[in-house]
Amino acid sequence: MLIKIKKSAQSSDIQLIRQLLDQHNLGHRVINGQDMVIGVEANPSEEVAREIHSLNGVESATPIATPFKLASLAAKPEKTVIRAGGVEIGGNSVILMAGPCAIESKEQLEDVALGLKGTGVSVLRASAYKPRTSPYSFQGMGEEGLKLHSEAKKQHGLLIETEVMDVRDVALVASHVDIVRIGARNMQNFDLLKEVGKCGKPVILKRGMSATIEEWLMSAEYIIAHGNPDVILCERGIRTFENATRSTLDLSSIPVLKRLTHLPVIVDPSHAAGRKDLIPALAAAAVAAGADGLLIEVHANPKKAKCDGKQALLPHEWADLVGQLRKVAQAVGRSI
């Protein structure tokens, strides 16, 4: 259930509502957005619902069938369009986000930014903090990387996005970039979700490798319920027995999500495939299936990349791909 609080409500009114919920063991959370809302874990019995309706501070109380509430179409039937810089994510345009896996140097960012020029890319992706399986692998350039990223933004007029892994880095990261990214391994790092809920920047939430679509939406709900409605879901493959690809890209999640949530959905075929030769087919399929954007790895010198070189496209391959994607987007009534 979602309880909308009257603008005129006093804090004592809110106290009374919460007491009633506690009394019936209904987990909940007060959310201060444009309107004040109380998200309630479950739908109360009819009797309790009537009691809630009758309370002073309550403007409306809407039962929601799904465990995610604010993220649900039931709560908000119109599609969410997220504005970052002049870019609209979730609108008619399919948004292109491209760049290297990791930030490695000023020159590397420079080279890739130049390579992306004129290809319709809105957002330069790159990571300063890298979740690496081995403690002995390159862990990212950290704050120094963020600064290089910021410079590239100014120089090339691209928005920038990057991953944040540590709650202690959220404020710093958010101060540098236009879009904050939560990686697949942190999809259920709930303290991190709470923190980006307060960061004031749109958040790309990657699907966890073994997360159901429902769990993924519950993680989006965490971010919204902590104050940030600008969540972009990013499908990047799930772990299955098939080993021809690194993960199995679950493109069914796109139409499934469109029937469950108003949030925009983008696709990262690079991490799913783990090899660049599959990217064109998967990117085209994602656009055809209704993706609102793509997140793709491009590197001007993949052989020297410090990570994931095998899955990065060269700038000219990327440019060719965009040409093809544009046609597919038009075929499904979208633009690039």
Residue numbers 200-229 binding its own copies by CB under 8 A: 208-210, 212-215, 218, 221-222, 225-226
Least separation in angstroms between CB 153 and its own copies? 25
Which of residues 57 and 208 has its CB atom nearest to its own copies in the complex?
208
Q: Is 251 in the site for its own copies (CB under 8 A)?
A: yes
Give the footprint of its own copies on residues 269-288 (CB under 8 A).
272-273, 277-278, 280-282, 284-288
Q: Using CB under 8 A, which of 43, 62, 150, 248 touches its own copies?
A: 248
Give the footprint of its own copies on residues 17-46 (CB under 8 A).
27-29, 39-41
Residue 51, CA distances (Å) to 5, 19, 45, 48, 254 in order: 15, 12, 10, 5, 39
Least separation in angstroms between CB 156 and its own copies? 28
Give the footprint of its own copies on residues 70-129 (CB under 8 A).
none
Q: Is 3 in the site for its own copies (CB under 8 A)?
A: no
Give the footprint of its own copies on residues 305-324 (CB under 8 A).
324
Least separation in angstroms between CB 214 and its own copies? 7
Q: Measure the CA–CA gap between 101 and 147, rounded to whole angstroms.
A: 16
The piece of 51-59, 90-98, 144-152, 328-336 that touches its own copies (CB under 8 A) is 328-336
Which of residues 106 and 194 has its CB atom nearest to its own copies in the complex?
194
Q: Using CB under 8 A, which of 290, 310, 317, 320 touches its own copies?
A: 290
Q: Is 167 in the site for its own copies (CB under 8 A)?
A: yes
Q: Is 327 in the site for its own copies (CB under 8 A)?
A: yes
Q: Is 328 in the site for its own copies (CB under 8 A)?
A: yes
Q: Measure the CA–CA gap between 273 and 265, rounded to whole angstroms.
A: 18
**Who contacts 127 (Cβ-Cβ below 8 Å, separation ≥6)?**
101, 102, 103, 140, 145, 162, 163, 181
Q: Is 49 in the site for its own copies (CB under 8 A)?
A: no
Give the footprint of its own copies on residues 177-196 (CB under 8 A).
185-186, 188-191, 194
Q: Is 256 in the site for its own copies (CB under 8 A)?
A: yes
Amino acid at 118: G
Least separation in angstroms between CB 97 and its own copies? 19
Q: Using CB under 8 A, which of 141, 254, 266, 321 touches its own copies?
A: 254
Least separation in angstroms between CB 85 and its own copies? 29
Amino acid at 162: T
Q: Using CB under 8 A, which of 53, 107, 255, 335 touches its own copies?
A: 255
Q: Is 12 in the site for its own copies (CB under 8 A)?
A: no
